Structure 1
């Protein structure tokens, strides 16, 4: 049987997560990514002002085109991406082709752009997979225009925007009273707040692993340390650029952003800086945990070597005495004495016991 089959039987590739390393590190932005077309597209439209809210749900992007001139603020959330649908919406709402390309891309670095009268934000929503104990990312693109916000999501099964939807249904909520830029703030705010939820899950895994490393350090503990370090790479890769994204919005002089909304984006900036600091703290804890694992392994090795050294020292007198009386000479003292055997065996027991007493007195074990 080949070695690869043995590895599959032992589950070592799953243990050390080499496939996860490939997912994290093998990213080349110069290669045109291949994106599978979504089988289904769901379009959720919230058309609102301070007095009214109208909700629409459709399976075609054509139903959202008329809301450009609704004289209300419109949030168009498109779940599931198809190139033809993105092009149709982009052409109708004046979204530049470069931004269209970013929407259809994958593994993009979070960023903010302001092109031809629209403000574009690209970042990732993070989730924690409780089954696989991994951090998952979903790219979301948000376009802010004149009285409209369009969001493009990859996965139609989940998002983090439920708090925003709840606020929209409240007639006296601030979201309903403000312009579209406040809606953009609310969406960025819930995305950043969800980062803390994911980081709390990762923190729980770190605490469990720390107790495991302290109690018993084994190969599985090292594999878990390696896995958590990879998940922290995912967190840092997605959190760090968002800080620059929010900072760019704060410094922007776009007419789409009201001055009174700036303080809200500053609050998001404070949160993302805090998330970044926590991510750095988690990284330090993981590195310390790895050092702790190495120290525990070395300590165990030292204990083993100490026991083996003691056993070797204890058996040395018996080996020497047996070697002396086993020499092939005609005349050996006490070799033919009737008590010679008992003298030799007694010395073999007495000398090791005396050595153990000396070792114990000096605190060697």
Structure 2
């Protein structure tokens, strides 16, 4: 029922522009205003090889004691408020330019290194099964000497639950390593989730292809156009991440240990694969439109062929009827008792003979 309602909505307005506006509205010369989050969630994970402290904090001020406490601290902020971001970043000596990027809207994924702080912005991707669309959430990761700060836009979803589970295991690699490995694990989870989203899109491509082959009309065309827009969102989110990961690999900062570089290189391989796969999906989507147009033309050719055959079969009857309907005084067989039957018989026999000849020539 839900799927039928979705199709009806697209059939009424197959070329909606709302999604297009989301794609083209980004203007880098204009600073968009971010709406302040009504509430924020603050979670802290403070750990070393022996113990871990997991707490949900009430205020930003409660994060201050975790700086330089000889442990590794991960502070995750869900919800963006200007005052909270500035207060936390100022206390942890995060440059104002990074603070501006954290509060930005629709920022292109990038990586910066400012005053012994490594910073990156990426988009976490999710697939909405209700609306059949790719949703994105901007996440900012700040890597310092003994801490990692993450800022998310929403509180109801992220991809870091496997990391939280591993932090509870004392013998895990996360607990035994430095903050750079935690940063790697976050980027790895973000990139791996890209493949989950692309699997969903791959299933949708198969469904649309099946619809086209079954002769779907404007519904299939609306599906193709909506899918093309989702591919633009996917490509825009994935492509720049390659340079983000490459920035961590090429940096000479002491925050990235030599032994951690091989893990970032592994993520780099994954993002190249994801980028190539997104290109393939975009090409397949373009081919779907060609397939739809070819099917439309094929059906039109079939209709025209049937109409042409019918016209040819009716031509003898038209000619015979026209001859005997002429206004001459003397026409052979006009007053013959069997003339009518001869004319009707000719009208039937000649089209039957034409059908046999058409079949022999393979015209239909």
Distance 2:210 2:75 in 1: 47
Note the C-alpha offset of 1:345: 1.1
Q: Is the 8 A contact 1:111 1:242 kept in 2?
A: yes
Q: Is the 8 A contact 2:10 2:222 kept in 1?
A: no
Matched with 1:5 is none
Distance 1:249 1:11 in 2: 43
Note if 1:97 corresponds to 2:87. Answer: no
Note the C-alpha offset of 1:13: 5.9
Partner-residue secondary structure (3-state), 2:331 = coil
Distance 1:179 1:11 in 2: 51
Partner-residue secondary structure (3-state), 1:16 = coil
Q: Is the 8 A contact 1:141 1:151 kept in 2?
A: yes
Note the C-alpha offset of 1:329: 2.1
Distance 2:320 2:237 in 1: 70
Equivalent residue runs for 1:214-363 within 5 Å: 214-363=213-362
Q: 1:107 to 1:14 in 2, by over 3 A?
A: farther
Distance 2:175 2:120 in 1: 22
Note if 1:204 corresponds to 2:186. Answer: no
Q: Is the 8 A contact 1:334 1:340 kept in 2?
A: yes
Q: Is the 8 A contact 2:11 2:222 kept in 1?
A: no
Note the C-alpha offset of 1:146: 1.1
Matched with 2:45 is 46
Note if 1:194 corresponds to 2:172. Answer: no
Partner-residue secondary structure (3-state), 2:14 = helix
Distance 1:53 1:15 in 2: 53
Distance 1:318 1:347 in 2: 8
Q: Is the 8 A contact 1:45 1:55 kept in 2?
A: yes
Matched with 1:213 is 212
Q: Is the 8 A contact 2:14 2:218 kept in 1?
A: no
Q: TM-score, normalised by structure 1?
A: 0.95
Note the C-alpha offset of 1:15: 3.3
Partner-residue secondary structure (3-state), 2:239 = helix
Q: Is the 8 A contact 2:68 2:146 kept in 1?
A: no
Q: Deviations for 1:230-284, whole angstroms, at most 9, x for unmatched residues? A: 1111111111100110011100101111111000000100111111111111122
Q: Deviations for 1:290-339, whole angstroms, at most 9, x for unmatched residues? A: 22111111111110000000000000111111111112222222222221
Q: Is the 8 A contact 1:41 1:60 kept in 2?
A: no
Note the C-alpha offset of 1:12: 4.1
Q: TM-score, normalised by structure 2?
A: 0.95
Distance 2:276 2:130 in 1: 27
Partner-residue secondary structure (3-state), 1:163 = helix
Note the C-alpha offset of 1:14: 4.7
Q: Is the 8 A contact 1:225 1:286 kept in 2?
A: yes
Distance 2:31 2:236 in 1: 21
Partner-residue secondary structure (3-state), 1:257 = coil
Partner-residue secondary structure (3-state), 2:135 = strand
Note the C-alpha offset of 1:217: 3.6
Note if 1:138 corresponds to 2:137. Answer: yes
Distance 2:344 2:17 in 1: 58
Partner-residue secondary structure (3-state), 1:90 = helix
